[in-house]
Amino acid sequence: MAGLTIRDVVKAYGEVEVMHGVNLDIDDGEFVVFVGPSGCGKSTLLRMIAGLEEISGGEISIGDTVVNEVAPSKRGVAMVFQTYALYPHMTVYNNMAFGLKQAKTPKDEIDRRVQQAAKVLDIVDYLDRTPRALSGGQRQRVAIGRAIVREPEVFLFDEPLSNLDAALRGQTRLEIARLHERLGATMIYVTHDQVEAMTLADKIVVLRLGYVEQVGKPMDLYNKPDNLFVAQFIGSPAMNIFNSKVDGKTVSIGGDKSVGDLENAPAGDVAVGIRPEHLIACKKSEAVISGKLELIERLGDHIIAHLIRDDNSEFIVKTEDFASNSKGDLMHFKVDADRVHYFDKESEKRIS
Amino acid sequence: MAIVSQSSKFGNIMRPTMAWVVGLVFFFPIFWLAFTSFKTDADAVKPEFLFFFTPTLDNYLNMAENYDYWRFAINSVITTTFATGFTLFVGVPAAYAMAFNPSRHTKDILMWMLSTKMLPAAAVLYPMTFLTKNFLGVFDTHFLIIIVLSLINLPIVIWMLFTYFKEIPKEIIEAGKMDGVSTWGEIKDILLPLAWGGLASTALLCFIFCWNEAYWTVRLTTTEAATLSKLIEGNRAPEGLFFGRLSAVSMAAVGPIVVLGWFCQKQLVQGLTFGAVK
């Protein structure tokens, strides 16, 4: 078992730098999720850890060993690919045994490990089949099995669920969480889906354009996002952002009441962030914001309402239900003062 | 609906008909050759005997007596087999490198290789003959013919293999790297099994091209390394037009490759029309 240290890691393709000095510490046994929009560098970072991409600058250490120049198979890592990347011409058994054979593991040891992994993943019945004869979910299990049998110190998952349908995705997500519990190994998981990130991670790393935007526990990112990007990326639907001028220290976004007070407010505009689930319908006299109801999306246990303000800007409210309101109604909302996030318009950084 | 069914009915008849017409046009020379090889030299030039004639085995018997058919045939087999083997031996790693570890120049190299096919062979006939005869001393050797056949076919073989390899998902190769497979193991255990269809059809095509090559095999050999192309050529020139005999020799020369192609046509068609991994 081992942790990971990433120091000033840079990735450049020729002149073009795509990762700009990333620093990160991952503890032994931690489940870390790299999340961010496409092109943020999350997969590149994972592939550098795996050894599939060269490290242009900086150092990556697994345990106490700097692995920059170590071959992928010697790093003590195993990877699960988005496309499964199973060997199509080999049986499930041989797919799982291939890596061990390369490492000259004794036959009975290979058999023991493959059988054990197959049992854990419930694919014992398919060991003699080729990947062609398996469903997507089964293929993904085999891909995970191929990683397990190598008993790596660090598991790497590159968007492992994005080729599965919704129902299977939820189930497999749960299985990966259980696997982590059971093996206790360090796991690094790349996804663009913030739900996967929130549910699986001990620690989330939010990346954008080759920079780390924030590192933290899921609920910390949700409750205290460092900047506007993280605020809008974590949470679904995304956080509402309103522009506001600060009058002294009182911040208001157009309603009868102010949203709260802001000590040491900057001179310019302030971005006020309120999550859709924190807006509560109320009387006009209590409201911090009002809008005309434009559209309601009913999702069974809750609704997502889209509202339009006087200045034609939109905001979203997530709530259990509106008892009697219908399209076109003017509605008013309040918010708890400690649920409000403030960001500097210029630097996009959190003001606290 | 009526129109659709009508037009597809039309297509159902027309398409096979066209295929047969095209097939027959291509097959006609072989058919004519086969017929002529069973005619006497006198009958061979008379149009009225095109289909109706008294078949004779004289041409074949004559050939067996007067020419050393087997020596030419063995030379053809040796040069073609070794040239195909050598071409793949060089071509597989080259195509592998270009497909999975491309550099900025890979596209240029591929184009450059193709451009060598644009050189008219006749332009280098004199230097080739002169150099191999007077300087290198390899004129009329198996070695020379194998090298020449290999070099002629290498560009097309690398192009074909490159295309097949390109269709193999990169992740599978990467999974191999994660599993700790060596470069040779990667080619042997992952690449070749996956590209088997493409590799087979490439090898077959290369074999056919080598067997049929006539320009250089005729000009760079005299006796020692002379192939079946040389045998046909030799029968044409000195003694005038003996169509019957010439046809028998030609049949004996193209026969093996036609039979080989016939047996492998499924493999060939599959390899040429579908990808390597589906």
CB contact under 8 A, B172 and A72: no
Sort out which chain A residues have CB atoms less than 8 A from B194's CB and list them. 88-89
Cβ pair A50:B178 closer than 8 A: yes
Q: What is the CATH number of the domain that holds B88?
A: 1.10.3720.10
Quick one: tokens of A79? Answer: 């990877």
Q: Is A4-229 a domain of CATH 3.40.50.300?
A: yes
B24 CA to chain A: closest CA distance, Å?
39
Whether the predicted pLDDT of B1 surpasses 50: no
Question: Quick one: pLDDT at residue B175?
Answer: 93
Q: How far is A71 from chain B (nearest CA, A)?
A: 8
Chain A, nearest residue to B196 by Cα: A89
Above 50 in pLDDT, residue B278?
no
Residue A302, min C-alpha distance to chain B (Å): 41
CATH topology of domain A242-351: OB fold (Dihydrolipoamide Acetyltransferase, E2P) (2.40.50)
> Looking at the 3D structure of chain B, how many domains does it have?
1
The parent domain of residue B208 ranges over 68-273
Q: Which of B174, B179, B194 sits opposite A99 (nearest CB)?
A: B179
Q: Is residue B94 included in any domain, yes or no?
A: yes
The answer to whether position B234 is within a domain reads yes
Tell me how crowded residue B17 is: count the other CB atoms within 10 A of its CB: 10
Q: Would residue B121 count as lying in a domain? A: yes
Total residue count of chain A as it appears in this document = 352
**Is pLDDT larger for residue B65 or for residue A229?**
A229
Domain ranges of chain A: 4-229, 242-351
Residues of B with Cβ-Cβ distance to A79 under 8 angstroms: 174-175, 178
Name the pLDDT band for B275 (thresholds 50, 70, 90): very low
Residues of B whose CB is below 8 A from A74: 180
Q: Are B172 and B189 in contact (CB under 8 A)?
A: no
Q: Are A202 and A217 in contact (CB under 8 A)?
A: yes
Chain B neighbors of A78, CB-CB under 8 A: 178
The runs of H, that is alpha helices, within chain B are 2-37, 41-44, 58-66, 69-100, 106-115, 125-130, 142-166, 170-178, 183-185, 192-194, 196-212, 215-219, 228-236, 243-263, 265-273
Residue of B nearest to A86 (CA): B172
- Dihedral class, residue A84 (left if φ above 0, else alpha if ψ from -120 to 50, else beta): left
Residues B119-164: tens digit of each pLDDT = 888 888 888 888 888 888 888 888 999 999 999 999 999 999 999 8
Residues of B with CB under 8 A from a CB of A: 169, 171-172, 174-182, 185, 189-190, 193-194, 277
Q: How many CB pairs under 8 A join A and B?
A: 60
> Is residue B270 scored above 80 in pLDDT?
no
Closest Cβ opposite residue B177 in set A72, A82, A86 = A72
Q: Which mean pLDDT values do the consecutive 10-residue runs of chain A (352 residues) have?
A: 88 91 94 93 94 93 92 92 92 94 93 93 92 90 93 93 87 91 93 91 95 95 94 92 83 82 77 93 89 90 92 91 81 90 90 80
Are residues A237 and A195 in contact, defined by beta-carbon separation less than 8 angstroms? no
Cα angle vertex B138, ends B135, B140, to 5°?
130
Q: How far apart are CA A112 and CA A107, in angstroms?
A: 9
Q: What is the ipTM of this complex?
A: 0.84
Mean pLDDT of B259-272: 76
As given in the structure block, the two tokens for residue A26 are 């991952």
